[in-house]
Structure 1
Amino acid sequence: MNENQGSRPWEGRVAFITGAVTGIGLGVAQAFADAGMRLALSYRNEDDRARTAEWFAGKGYEQPLFLKLDVTDRESFAQAAQRVVDHFDEVHVLVNNAGVSVFGPTDEATYDDYDWIMGVNFGGVVNGLVSFLPRIKASSGRRHVVNVASMAAFLPGPQAGIYTASKFAVRGLTESLRYNLAPHGIGCSLCCPALTRTNAWASATKRPEQFSGSGFAPAREGELEQFGTAFEEGMDPYEVGSKILAGMTEQRGLILTHPEHGPDFEEIHEKMMAALPQEEAPAGRLRIEQLRRDAMKAAEEGLVIKLDDLT
């Protein structure tokens, strides 16, 4: 099959998406299915899986390979990756989407708070990469990795310290990984959605028993539901999925889905520029930093960069 086939360049490509039967993950799955892709979808809830299967049946599409998966379970993730290859022969696209949105004052957080939120939001991405990258490298044709973070990867908040840390971590990992995958002909994108019409606000009600020792005070009656009303104003998940698909097609390293954050980025830029010391840097340091910039450009063009290239 020609991978550059007109307006459907991803037709026939096999994608694995985590957290794929609700919210953004489902929006991505639906957009990918409309583009002719074959899908393996991870899920936790049987009712959500059944509703997703009904959507595919109603569209007359091939049923996805559904895999029940806790993304923090490394052994199960490795088994899922093997099942995808056994079922489809190859796998071309990985979308690390699964996550939890849990908030509370960072100064009151416990180890359980850190371990749960970081374990899902960052550890789940790590597990996806370790399990799937060897299999994606072994496949052929158009391939891509998308790590779904959040605008919290750029914008911290007083109630979102650990959540923000997890998304900053995904951002840093993905921006570096892009340079490593380019020589293999594999695209890599960081997607940072903002407010989307999902039930992410309810994550705090799904805390596993082994992480029950939270330092965050229990939500007041109706507090989470009131917070959830903000999500009703959010972008449709299918639109987010369509923008991810377009970003992959255009080989964009950064996929921003929401246009309303221009003022935030302008403020970040101004603060960073203002924080730079107004003084001349010595020639040696300038040379090293220019080598770094040159290496990044070369890596993006597909060259393998080694430590020797940085000095």
Structure 2
Amino acid sequence: MDVRGKTAFITGGVSGIGLGIAQAFAEAGCELILSYRNKDYRAAAETWFAGRGFATPRFVKLDVTDRAEFAAAAAAAGKVHILVNNAGVSVFGPADEARHDDYDWIMGVNFGGVVNGLVSFLPHIKAHGEGGHIVNVASMAAFLPGPQAGLYTASKFAVRGLTESLRYNLAPHHIGVTLMCPGLTRTNAWDSALKRPAAFAESGFAPPDREALAQFGTAFDLGMEPIEVGRKTLAGVVANRGLVLTHPEFAEDFEAIYRDSLAALPDEAAPEGRLHIERLRRAANRAAAEGRIVELGDLT
């Protein structure tokens, strides 16, 4: 996709990875609409663009969990070609101690925010008929679970599954879909627990320890620069890649996933009837990727 002159709407686009993506898209000649919640981050972002001679983005104050706000933002945006669902929270704690408020907050932002973006913007992108692209920002947690990241991992696994399926659905409409999974990036994502909304106060996790969180945040200082993540994301959009992995340090993990997955398959023959159904599924996926609308009847 040639992004020059296209308009991109990026949630959480004034800081961290969202800002890095916005900066890379500005370099490529995109017009930008950036959602924000923190006015200081907005001001700093505006200064960055002005200082480099880029057009000032349009800024939209938006809570991605608010469906009415999201729908209004989409209606007011005009013609948008690229939607980047980036906004998220990084909160950690053992899943066995989580309460409903923990699930509702984390899933509501990290997965619900993506859903709200899709429901709000996809009708408009389809309607203008010029094609486009969706980028859903997940995380390496979409592949790699851990003992302190159960709910965060669940939210990112959900984004991954939705995004990989959505790519088949949108191919006939000439709308590309990319799942972007960054690794450690130099951001302030570590402090999400300090910004927990009062509406989700009933947590099963221990109260956030500012000192411990600050120590954890030192790991983020070693991360990739957000604009580098943004440039790799941009390259994935231009090439219409379904998956963008921005960090190279996970080969050992993917090799282990591959080995463990194959080892978990029973060493036995499958009956012809089941093999036939799986051949139909693979053929339907190939057809969908090539731009054909697949119906339920194609699977049997």
TM-score relative to the length of structure 1: 0.95
Q: Does the 8 Å CA contact 2:70/2:120 hold for their aligned counterparts?
A: yes
Structure 2: unaligned runs, 5 residues or longer:
none
Contact residue 197 and residue 236 of structure 1 kept, 8 A:
yes
CA–CA distance in structure 1, aligned partners of residues 86 and 62 of structure 2: 13
Between the aligned partners of 1:220 and 1:62, the Cα distance in structure 2 is 41
Equivalent position SS for 1:222: helix
2:29 paired residue number: 36
Following the alignment from structure 1 to structure 2, what is the Cα–Cα distance between the partners of residues 181 and 83? 23
- Contact kept, 8 Å, 1:118 with 1:162, in 2: the verdict is yes
- Please give the per-residue CA displacement for 1:76-109, whole angstroms capped at 9, x wherever unaligned: 0000001111xxxx11000000000000011110
Letter matched to residue 80 of structure 1: A
User: C-alpha displacement at 1:57, in angstroms?
Assistant: 1.1
- Partners of 2:131 and 2:174 in 1: how far apart? 8
The more displaced of 221-230 and 173-182 is 221-230
Corresponding residue to 1:57 among 25, 28, 50? 50
The letter of the residue matching 2:281 is R
Matched, 1:274 2:263: yes
Contact preservation (8 Å) 2:36, 2:42: yes
Alignment of 1:71-150 (within 5 A): 71-85=64-78, 90-150=79-139
1:204-233 CA distance string (max 9 Å, x none): 000000001111002335100000000001
Number of paired residues?
300
Determine the C-alpha separation between the residues in 2 that align with 1:139 and 1:42: 22
SS at match of 1:277: coil
> Identity of paired residues, percent?
68
Gaps of 5+ in 1: 4-8
Where in structure 2 are the equivalents of 1:1-311 lying within 5 Å? 9-85=2-78, 90-311=79-300
After TM superposition, the score normalised by the length of structure 2 is 0.99
Q: How far does residue 142 in structure 1 lie from its aligned partner after superposition?
A: 4.7
RMSD between superposed Cα atoms in Å: 0.9
State how far apart, in whole Å, the 2-side matches of 1:263 and 1:100 are. Answer: 27
State whether residues 65 and 84 of structure 1, in contact with CA within 8 Å, keep that contact through their aligned partners in structure 2: no
Aligned CA distance change for structure 1 residues 165 and 298 (closer, same or farther; 3 Å) = same
Q: Aligned partners of 1:206, 1:219: CA distance in 2, in Å? A: 10
Instruction: Give the C-alpha shift of residue 60 in structure 1.
Output: 1.6
1:255 maps to a residue whose letter is V
**Aligned residues of 2:26 and 2:32 also touching (Cα < 8 A):** yes
Please give the per-residue CA displacement for 1:44-75, whole angstroms capped at 9, x wherever unaligned.
Answer: 00011011111111122211110000000000
| Partner SS, residue 77 of structure 2 | helix
Letter of the structure 2 residue corresponding to residue 200 of structure 1: A
SS of residue matched to 1:21: coil
Runs of 4+ off more than 2 Å: 139-142
- Paired with 2:146 and 2:131, the residues of 1 have a C-alpha distance of 38
